[in-house]
Structure 1
């Protein structure tokens, strides 16, 4: 059934009014709509990308009704999902099998297909992003035919198509390499930012999961270090009380933060002072929880984001250049930079393909125009060979991207072969791959 809709992404940076918005309930319906839809077809998940990567002006397709587990290989711990399954529902689906996703990011509204297709990731040098854990997928091509790919039968082709931002077809099933369920012991502390950067790689290698949030205009940052353990393993650290969780994540992490941003919007000169108060108030938290309960935090304050993956060894120097730029320009930035890491993988268009990476994410509040700031920070990231997250703001086009990915031209050739009429195209995708 057609659903009239104006599509807006989560941050409000993208708005479009497709003439048709469809939510098929079966794979056969996906095949039918591809064969019969007028004009181009763009798949969209949660709308959590900050770019127009999922936006379309003709037909947009959302797979929320294609959700759940298709099959479980308990011996190999591989789980096949319908592609519209949201990350937030995965823990409950896997719990009866004693399994979990190997890693997660800090938000979970995305669909599995969207997270995989945009090279979404968490943090931890022992782990890849979502795309690196894909063992098989199925998509509907421009002719409405189902195509199946797997690590067992055609690994090179699977690795070429896994991150495709919907340019090759509509992904309908994704098989993921899962792991035994695990808990996390979380440690959250404040530290001197220069010391954190000086010891970045050492600290990242010494922890299962390591990340940092730095508020501009301050000399301190918050470190988050997570340690994995079996659910039945004894540990002296217990669960965080519900009241403390509410205090940390809702009252402070969202409520007080939103209030500080509102004051900063009215009085920009107050932002450095507010940031210093925030970092001075950082508490030392240690608590235990389920993996998804620790990885994921509510993000109710909306923002715009640019994130690049740079080679791990170069990351701290790039962050220092960004800090110097902020100081020189006199910008007032109330949102923190987020710093994370991942292992290298062999997925062709993964932002960590072939190298361990530090991810540097810059944010500004939703009410701030990000372009003046991002336009000056981006060259610093690019000069280090940085690769932009496919779902976050950047200005790169095909010629730029071809210099960053060894298999980029091979992907573009495959896209041309599979969809010469740009059935799954848009002006934005033509900029990336045309």
Structure 2
């Protein structure tokens, strides 16, 4: 190693994303974003004698001491304009394109999680517009118009009613502003709602009233928020919950939702909590993506667990899954579903290819658990 730079760039010298919550010496630096150059080097415990020199040499300096030895690992992390060397990094983690293909999840993930891959959208202010109440049938009739009006369009349906909340989310240059209120968002939208949902676990018929009243209280007025994209495009899940989420071909959206509504009306004993979230995603080429080679609509149903109490859900799940299967649905991998391997092979055309690559990379099943064994073995 040279005297001027104790850290020789090596295989691990590549830019990595800046964590937005970490700044110089542990403090947040809001203006910091982009890439950082991360270098590692070996040292000895006398690094303490030159501590000030190390602190002045790097914006993000730390070292790791190995107890009962003089061994120290030195880490410098600094902003850089270098281009990410993923081709070099991929020799260790992503050996070839098929492996990279199975390691992705969806186009949505590519856009918002992996910062140096094609399709990534860097930090920007997003405008989140919630128009006023529109009847669900009117939304379904004008679905193409809504999809063309906003880059990220979704809507929330309140079961046991015709109420729908429209959400448009788009990039903007406007200054940040928020309509949030602790009283409405938490006092009413969380604490009061959780108590009423707990009461409804004894009297399920109250869910119809809860869905309609809380739509009027919290979702029946026009609201507009502007903030960083990672705040606009995410949602705070305040409740413990059970969730199912399937993707169907986008052309089957109207038919599937009308069937789900009719099925709930025909089974008054099933209490469906609000909201049913409907969102959309373009097709991709990711082997086990629910959007594999087709533009898709995700229909997400939910049952909350007020104060940790389980609400009977299996009749609702069975009814919902039946409709999703009928319309060519594919389950969200991070949500509950009852699909077997044989069913998944029919849903995903490249399922055997994925399994072959997985077995090649993990021949001894080190990364399998009981659930994955049922799905992939």
TM exceeding 0.5: yes
Equivalent pair of 1:201/1:313 in contact (CA under 8 Å): no
Inter-CA distance 212–260: structure 2 relative to 1 (3 Å threshold): farther
Q: Which runs of 5+ in 2 are unaligned?
A: 1-11, 36-85, 107-112
Equivalent pair of 1:264/1:334 in contact (CA under 8 Å): no
Structure-2 residue corresponding to 1:358: 297
Provide the TM-score with structure 2 as the length reference: 0.70
The question of 1:159 aligning with 2:101 is answered yes
Inter-CA distance 431–93: structure 2 relative to 1 (3 Å threshold): farther
After superposition, give the CA deviation of every residue in 1:272-308 in whole Å (9 maximum; x if it has no partner): 1121112223221112222122223322111100000
Structure-2 residue corresponding to 1:183: 125
> Pairwise mapping of residues 232-271 of structure 1 onto structure 2 (< 5 A)?
233=173, 235=174, 239-240=177-178, 244-271=180-207
In 2, distance between residues paired with 1:94 and 1:345?
A: 33
Equivalent pair of 2:150/2:169 in contact (CA under 8 Å): yes
Structure-2 residue corresponding to 1:312: 250
In 1, distance between residues paired with 2:141 and 2:189?
A: 27
Residue 238 of structure 1: how far off its partner (Å): 5.6
Q: 2:280 aligns with which of 328, 336, 341?
A: 341
Residue 329 of structure 1: how far off its partner (Å): 1.1
Q: 1:388 aligns with which of 331, 338, 346?
A: 331
Higher relative contact order (CA 8 A, sep 6+): 1
Q: 1:373 aligns with which of 289, 296, 316?
A: 316
Structure-2 residue corresponding to 1:115: none
SS of aligned partner of 2:279: strand
The question of 1:279 aligning with 2:279 is answered no
In 1, distance between residues paired with 2:126 and 2:114?
A: 26
RMSD, aligned α-carbons = 3.2
Residue 88 of structure 1: how far off its partner (Å): 8.6
Provide the TM-score with structure 1 as the length reference: 0.61
Inter-CA distance 341–136: structure 2 relative to 1 (3 Å threshold): farther
Query: What is the aligned length?
Result: 296
In 2, distance between residues paired with 1:287 and 1:420?
A: 49
The question of 1:296 aligning with 2:234 is answered yes
Inter-CA distance 95–390: structure 2 relative to 1 (3 Å threshold): farther
In 2, distance between residues paired with 1:96 and 1:247?
A: 33
Q: 1:403 aligns with which of 335, 346, 352?
A: 346
In 2, distance between residues paired with 1:137 and 1:221?
A: 49
In 2, distance between residues paired with 1:398 and 1:407?
A: 13
Equivalent pair of 1:136/1:176 in contact (CA under 8 Å): no
Equivalent pair of 1:138/1:174 in contact (CA under 8 Å): no
Structure-2 residue corresponding to 1:429: 372
Structure-1 residue corresponding to 2:5: none
